[in-house]
Structure 1
Amino acid sequence: MAGASIEATLEIWASSLRDVKARMRPLFGQERVAASANSFLDGLLGEERRKTGWMRAEAAGDPGPWRQQAILGRGRWDADDLRDIVRTYALETLVDADAVLVIDETGFLKQGKASCGVGRQYTGSAGKITNCQIGVFASYVSRHGHAFIDRALYLPKSWTDDPTRMAATAVPAETAFATKPALARVMIDRAIAAEVPFTWVAADSVYGVGALETALRRAGKGYVLGVTSQHAVVSWGKERLVAGTAGGVVQDLSPSDWTRLSAGEGTKGARLRDWAYLELADLDAADYDAARAGVWTRGLLIRRNIADGDLAFFSTWCPAGTLVQTLVRVEGHRWAIEDSFETAKNELGLDHNETRSWHGWHRHVSLVMLAFAMMATIRTRANAATPPKTPLRMTRTT
């Protein structure tokens, strides 16, 4: 792959860092607060493995972590404004009409009971029920790269039913309990309202059924949403009759129903799996939005692991005639957000937030999102740059 030289990459890095700091500047009323925010960002992008307040302060040359902590706590600025800046900045490089908006969650392991939203709950990050916070994220994934563009802190009912606990962590008074699919829908609606160009939404089985599907159909967005093996499926108007649960339907498939396809390139090469796709019904888009036209297909996509036969199921919605290869590609884009979580935690301190408040969590996470979007932009720009060619000098021999 062609790419920029080391010198050019360093210049892209420096100019990108100046750019994002300039975009942040209007958020802060005082120059000294803006300078602290800049130092916070520098700390996230630094080489220190732990992005604690003391380590960021040491890297910034501060005698203690107080200025760093003030950015997340005492300072007056709106993390949602920074979220919008991140979204605009990321899209300038990553925008693509065929992009996929990927929804997923990650856990933040915590000690004690005081951190906003903390509780004993399941997180895939640990693979078990443990004491943690859960953040729901939206990642914009296109052929140019990927970056987070939205986030939400999930509050269990044990929090929203406890006004004293909510007040102690400065949760806005109007905040009520919302399921993870409800949080996802708010983020999708926000992306649509901001005119973010995307064609597809992909998510795992936590988000795959109910009101989210209807909302996406009304918005004219295709989707590949995970469902469980107990998900009910039924076909009509199709030559092949399908009825039962997703797990039951798969038992009736023949070897010819399966196709081996790659869901995209991973760290070890093509991510090959066996796939089956069943079209369930053709529906008119106008049934969901009178302003839309065209026939769309509701279907069931099934993934089978080559090594152990493990199955995964996905509810799909796409324009009629969409190829299974396209649906597989969309589902494969979910890998990008998993990669993003790993990178953001290991390199940018996504899970190193030391605050306990609602606004502290959103500020920390939004600053990490900005750092991640900057890295994505640098990577895309550096890969697109071609080093200048050295003229070939011909020497005459005698």
Structure 2
Amino acid sequence: MSGRYDGFYDTYDGCFRSGNHNVSRQAKQYLSGLIQSPKRNMERMAEVVPDSDSQVLQNFLSYSGWSHRAVMNQVARDANDWVGGDEGSGLYIDETCFAKKGKHSVGVARQWNGRLGKTDNCQVGVFGALGKGKHVSLIDARLYLPTVWTNDPKRCAKAGIPHGERVHKTKPDLAMEIVEQARVNGVRFEWVGMDAVYGSSFRLLQDLDMKGETFVADVRKDRHIYLKDPAPYVPASTPGKGRPRRRLCSDQESVEVGKWVADQPDSAWSRTTLRDSERGPLTVDLLCARVWLWDKKSSTTKQWHLLCRREIGKPNTIKYSLSNAPADVSLSTLGRMQAQRFWVERAFQDAKSHMGMSHYQARKWLSWHRHMALVMMAQQFMLQERMINSETYPLLSCYDIQIMLCQTLPARKMDRQDIKAMMIERHRRRQAAIDSAKRRSGPAAEPKTPLDLSN
């Protein structure tokens, strides 16, 4: 496996070379550290990766001259070779949060943290993942910037945010960028899958539809739909009374998705098996109807599928989705497309557990995106290993691959003096952080007696 790992890395070597500038060695050290180190900060990486240095790794991530976009684009093209295709492949858009205690990390703010289920101090990244069946790999990432950041030019400058990015972009805006970038990279997928954060944006759904992209987007149960074309119009003005009317209206009444579904008889639902899972066949009840959507702002209306999925034995657990798939698409096909987005959550879980996705020392814009690009490289390698060994080891997991790599990749061998030197350096940095905090909050800290480790 280590031989395939070296060969895999060699295909990315050019992303870290530019003229006389070459950080390929540091890139491979960082990538290895993401897999080998139990905690993926620079100090812990340097303790396990041979010939590495924490300061050099930090400089590589934050200041050296290489493009995270070039790496992400290469990952996207590689993922396309393995799981891309017009049939059965989906591009899944989702976000994940990274809890942060301070206020200096780029994009950090008090905002909704879906992982914790509450508003908390965190960063939010919007990601694109390409998948087919159970195989999925992250291929793009965009850091979401709340308005408290984009309205503060000095804060943006300190975090190294490029001038072109110092504008507020909604999460649906970032999702559209990811879809467009995937197409630029030649990525082949049949549909775009999204949760309700993105499905609630009628503008995003319209834009995708206009660009010829098929989507399956979750919506909340209070989403309003029309059972007939609302046919918006501007009422005729009364001569001589008031200003001319401009506001659109409709003779049709809208209804909330949840209320409409509650009124449907049991006979309207169809029991369908979507796929096999580790716990047996995934069987659900599905309900589908053609409905109309209108935002009450423009004269444009859309007729799309409303797909509802009810868990067997849990009649109140219902997922609602909109899709612009062809009118004659089968119910089972829509159900499978909706269910596929589950795998992006597995991709996040694997990336955080086995590739250090949430373990990073990256306060600035550039270093955050670079860390994510390298995590994607590691995940792409693991995807390929799982697919190569799918017949021999059908249950091969990212954890299995991580353990094997930890045993086969070169590891740093340290004697007692090396261990002592690293410990002293850690203590020096901790004390410097303590002293810095005390200087900001009060009188200067008393000098500390160095720790005696001579015995």
TM class by shorter-chain length?
0.7 to 0.9
**Match 2:169 to one of 178, 202, 205:** 178
Displacement of 1:361: 0.3
Does 1:269 find its partner at 2:280?
Answer: yes
Which residue of 2 is the match for residue 58 of structure 1? 47
Alignment partner of 2:196: what SS?
A: coil
* CA shift in 2, pair 1:269/1:69, >3 Å: farther
* CA shift in 2, pair 1:63/1:143, >3 Å: closer
Which residue of 1 is the match for residue 124 of structure 2? 134
Displacement of 1:319: 1.1
Does 1:298 find its partner at 2:304?
Answer: yes
Alignment partner of 1:76: what SS?
A: coil
Contact 1:262 1:273 in 2 (8 A): yes
Most deviating of 208-217 and 111-120: 208-217
Rounded Cα–Cα distance in structure 2 between residues aligned with 1:374 and 1:121: 33
Does 1:329 find its partner at 2:323?
Answer: no
Displacement of 1:94: 1.4
1:144-183 matches, within 5 Å, as 145-175=135-165, 176-183=167-174
Rounded Cα–Cα distance in structure 1 between residues aligned with 2:179 and 2:137: 15
Aligned-partner residue type, residue 115 of structure 1:
S
Contact 2:29 2:52 in 1 (8 A): no
Alignment partner of 2:160: what SS?
A: coil
Displacement of 1:19: 2.5
* CA shift in 2, pair 1:338/1:264, >3 Å: farther
Unaligned segments of structure 2, at least 5 residues: 230-251, 294-301, 394-455
Displacement of 1:213: 1.0
Contact 1:259 1:276 in 2 (8 A): yes
Aligned-partner residue type, residue 355 of structure 2:
L
Which residue of 1 is the match for residue 189 of structure 2? 198
Rounded Cα–Cα distance in structure 2 between residues aligned with 1:14 and 1:340: 24
Which residue of 1 is the match for residue 217 of structure 2? 225
Which residue of 2 is the match for residue 289 of structure 1? none
Displacement of 1:313: 1.1
Alignment partner of 2:222: what SS?
A: coil
Aligned-partner residue type, residue 222 of structure 1:
T
Instruction: Give CA-to-partner distance per residue, 1:142-182, whole Å, 9 cap, x none.
Output: 14721111110000000000001100110001211000011
Which residue of 1 is the match for residue 350 of structure 2? 343
Contact 1:27 1:81 in 2 (8 A): no
Which residue of 2 is the match for residue 114 of structure 1? 104
Contact 2:15 2:66 in 1 (8 A): no
Displacement of 1:378: 1.3
Q: Which has the higher contact order (CA 8 A, sep 6+)?
A: 1
Rounded Cα–Cα distance in structure 1 between residues aligned with 2:262 and 2:111: 33
Which residue of 2 is the match for residue 42 of structure 1? 32
Which residue of 2 is the match for residue 279 of structure 1? 290
Contact 2:90 2:130 in 1 (8 A): yes
Most deviating of 186-195 and 344-353: 186-195
**Match 2:83 to one of 82, 94, 110:** 94
**Match 2:67 to one of 65, 72, 78:** 78
Which residue of 1 is the match for residue 12 of structure 2? 23
Instruction: Give CA-to-partner distance per residue, 1:39-83, whole Å, 9 cap, x none.
Output: 11111122x332121121111134641122122112111111111
* CA shift in 2, pair 1:17/1:127, >3 Å: farther
Rounded Cα–Cα distance in structure 1 between residues aligned with 2:99 and 2:337: 30
Q: Which one has the largest radius of gyration?
A: 2
Does 1:359 find its partner at 2:366?
Answer: yes
* CA shift in 2, pair 1:252/1:95, >3 Å: same
Does 1:375 find its partner at 2:400?
Answer: no
Aligned-partner residue type, residue 283 of structure 2:
L
Most deviating of 158-167 and 141-150: 141-150
Task: Using structure 2 for the length normalisation, give the TM-score.
Answer: 0.74
* CA shift in 2, pair 1:343/1:242, >3 Å: farther
Instruction: Give CA-to-partner distance per residue, 1:257-278, whole Å, 9 cap, x none.
Output: 1123344344433333322111
Alignment partner of 1:152: what SS?
A: strand
Aligned-partner residue type, residue 170 of structure 1:
G
Alignment partner of 2:189: what SS?
A: coil
Instruction: Give CA-to-partner distance per residue, 1:359-389, whole Å, 9 cap, x none.
Output: 0100000000011011101111221579xxx
Displacement of 1:189: 1.3
Contact 2:73 2:185 in 1 (8 A): no
Displacement of 1:22: 3.4
Most deviating of 66-75 and 262-271: 262-271
* CA shift in 2, pair 1:110/1:21, >3 Å: farther
Alignment partner of 1:318: what SS?
A: coil
* CA shift in 2, pair 1:142/1:299, >3 Å: same
Displacement of 1:96: 1.5
Displacement of 1:90: 1.4
* CA shift in 2, pair 1:92/1:144, >3 Å: farther
Contact 1:302 1:314 in 2 (8 A): yes
Contact 1:117 1:133 in 2 (8 A): yes
Alignment partner of 2:390: what SS?
A: helix
Contact 1:242 1:280 in 2 (8 A): no
Instruction: Give CA-to-partner distance per residue, 1:79-137, whole Å, 9 cap, x none.
Output: 11111111111111112212111100000111100000001111211121111100000
Alignment partner of 2:344: what SS?
A: helix
Which residue of 2 is the match for residue 285 of structure 1? none
Contact 2:222 2:256 in 1 (8 A): yes
Rounded Cα–Cα distance in structure 2 between residues aligned with 1:305 and 1:121: 30
Rounded Cα–Cα distance in structure 2 between residues aligned with 1:90 and 1:143: 13
